[in-house]
Amino acid sequence: MGFQLTEEQKLMQQMVRNFAEEVIKKRAAEIDETDEFPMDIYKQAAELGLLAVNMPEEFGGSGMDSMSAVLASIEVARASASVANIFSSTRHHLFCLYNYGTEEQKRKYIPALAKAELIGSFALSEAGSGSDASSISTTAKLDGDEYVIDGNKMWITMGNVADFTIVFAVTDPTKGSKGISAFIVEKGTPGFSVGKRERKLGQKGNPVCELLFENVRVPKSNMLGEEGQGIKIALQSLDSGRIEVAALAVGLMQAALEDSVNYAENRKQFGQKISNFQMIQSMIAEMATDLDAATLLTYRAAYLKDQGKKFTREASMAKWFATEAAMKHTTNAVQIHGGYGYCMDYNVERYFRDAKLTQIFEGTNQIQQIVICREVLKQWAK
Ligand code: COS
């Protein structure tokens, strides 16, 4: 068993670290302030091969593994969790297309997503269907050679900047979760529109909005995967997305730790630097230990995925542990910074706001515990 990254992974990590330090970190506060999608950074990331890190080269990807995608996410999240989230959302769309797309769909969308010529979105959640993913009410009815899609989707990341969406809809209401299918719907298709953009606590610059479908007609060939395969596509790609959320949390924690150490070493109270105080030391020690534990859980999930092994349980463990730890330690980072930490001149209040979403999206942490327990029971039940 080795704990070393390969030379290729180390090079990728260094390259992303440079990009994150030189470009993203300098813009992070501005993106947070303006809440504008950073299109220029997105395009630069595409040029560096950061969007399709783990896609094969024949589809315009960098031909690397999921561990490399995790390393990239951690480095970007260290500078801006919202930008990291934008990049990993694209990898989520790539995952769906690569694993379930027809050859034609793959050739059309994957290279264009890799180059940022197209942007995608993933439309599963609805006002009445969040954790209970199988309970969606958007429908897709077959009419001749076309499906007619009706319904509204909510909290769709990048929905307003996307050129197409992967939408999940009920094709057979008698079959429950087996009656859900996925479709690709392009911007400009009559009846397909963008609704309200949400105003969020954090993760600014990463837009989230409603998508509306009213009598949207798409040819049968726009189905992604087979009829009835929708929930499997959604849940399998969410497994993969959860590893990336864990990586976001790890990056946030790294930033929180670095800033806290720097502040504690420089801030003086009672005639000495506050890093001399044991209550500060306790927070830093716990931060560093949880950071390592979260990193290892995240690496393990990515490793299993790269080995072609089942990683549902491990992805949920990494997501749950890393995001709880990120929330706790970004909160403590604000605490260590005291009054300064609560103000926007320091970055820690942004980490704290950005961390909250990681406990909620790609499946709440309560859902992760359900998934973990189900997998454990499957493994150990006699
Ligand atoms: N990968 C592939 N398929 C999976 C899967 C996974 N990780 N988990 C479940 N499935 C399959 C099941 O095998 C089942 O298919 P079969 O009936 O053919 O066996 C089908 O999907 C439905 O699974 P299940 O019956 O377990 O679904 P439930 O309705 O009980 O829900 C949970 C399971 C709660 C785990 C699921 O709904 C979930 O993850 N919810 C969170 C959704 C989410 O993350 N939303 C965020 C959206 S993006 S911000």
In the chain, domain spans: 7-114, 120-228, 231-381
d(CA 207, CA 157): 6
Topology of domain 231-381, CATH? Butyryl-CoA Dehydrogenase, subunit A; domain 3 (1.20.140)
Q: Is there a catalytic annotation at residue 375?
A: no
pLDDT by 10-residue block (mean), the chain, 382 residues: 92 98 98 98 98 97 97 98 98 98 98 98 97 97 98 98 98 97 98 98 98 98 98 97 98 98 98 98 98 98 97 98 98 98 97 98 98 95 76
Tokens of 143: 């009419």
Q: How far is the CA of 38 from the centre of ligand 1 (A)?
A: 33
Closest alpha carbon to 166 in 215, 108, 216, 230: 230
Same fold, 120-228 and 231-381: no
Q: 282-301: buried (b, 16+ CB within 10 Å) or exposed (e) per residue? A: ebbeebbebbeebbebbbbb
Q: Which of 286, 314, 362, 375 is catalytic?
A: 362
Its pTM stands at 0.97
Distance of alpha carbon 32 from alpha carbon 218, whole angstroms: 37
What pLDDT, on a 0 to 100 scale, did the predictor assign at position 20? 98
Distance from Cα 54 to the centre of ligand 1, integer Å: 24
373 touches ligand 1 (CB under 6 Å): no
pLDDT for residue 380: 86
Q: What is the pLDDT of residue 139?
A: 98
Distance CA 159, CA 44 (A): 21
Q: Among 3.30.429.10, 3.30.1370.10, 3.40.50.300, 2.40.110.10, what is the CATH number of 120-228?
A: 2.40.110.10
Residue 135: per-residue pLDDT: 97
Residue nearest to atom 40 of ligand 1 (CA): 131
Q: Give residue 249's pLDDT.
A: 98
- Regarding the beta carbon of 233 and ligand 1, being less than 6 Å apart is answered no
What does the alpha-carbon distance between residue 381 and residue 28 come to, in Å, rounded to a whole number? 48
Q: Does ligand 1 come within 6 angstroms of the Cβ of 41? A: no
| DSSP-H helix ranges across 209-277 | 230-266
Query: In this structure, which topology does domain 7-114 adopt according to CATH?
Result: Butyryl-Coa Dehydrogenase, subunit A; domain 1 (1.10.540)
Ligand 1 mean position to 184 CA, how many Å? 20
